[in-house]
Amino acid sequence: MSEFENKIAIVTGAAGGIGEEICDVLAGQGIHVVMADKSPNLELIYENFKTKYPENKGFAVTLDLTQESEVENLVNQTVERLGRLDIMVNNAGVIQSMQAITELPLEVVNFVMDVNFKGVFLGSKYAARQMKKQKSCSIINTGSWYGKRGYKYFAGYCCLAIVAKSAFFRCMCVICVLRKVYGAKPSHS
């Protein structure tokens, strides 16, 4: 029996890649996983997940992480259906097309910031509210190593979203520690 058996987790960006793998690893430890993503492929991926983990009580939620009410509803729905929220994995992210900063449209910058920063902010905000009530907190915010190094054709992604997300991670840890929300650990990036 795993120490994580019957914990409840939300994973954003769950419809493929790293997010899908995170769901698999968590479920393998006995964690009930709520899979969240905007992708129309989410339902198919969730069906495959349930075939592999039929005892898992998690479910799939299609949402837009840039919409505050949808993220709040994700957390509320998880708590209503499963009783609590133990782990929040803010994994969803997008990357821009290769463009020099001199050619990068503001719409692309806004989209990258909305998903990669605001999505993490909103997920952390509503998960932390719930976890504060429970006096437990495990919020995992994934990020890219691109934020540690600039790339001339990915300025909107590297400099804006990843650096902003990294600063947010550090601020959130300080706030959690000062307010005594349990389980916050600063990033070593």
Cβ-proximal residues to 187 (8 Å cutoff; 6+ apart), any chain: 141, 166, 169, 170, 173
Catalytic option among 146, 153, 157, 182: 153
Say if residues 97 and 150 touch (Cβ distance below 8 Å): no
For 183, the token pair is 């389980």
Q: 129, 151, 117: which is closest to 78 by C-alpha?
A: 129
Strands 87-90, 139-141: pairing is: parallel
**Active-site residue flag, 157:** no
Number of residues that make up the chain:
189
Query: How far apart, in Å, are the Cα atoms of 81 and each of 59, 102, 135?
Result: 9, 48, 19
Say if residues 79 and 72 touch (Cβ distance below 8 Å): no
Q: Which residues form the catalytic set?
A: 153
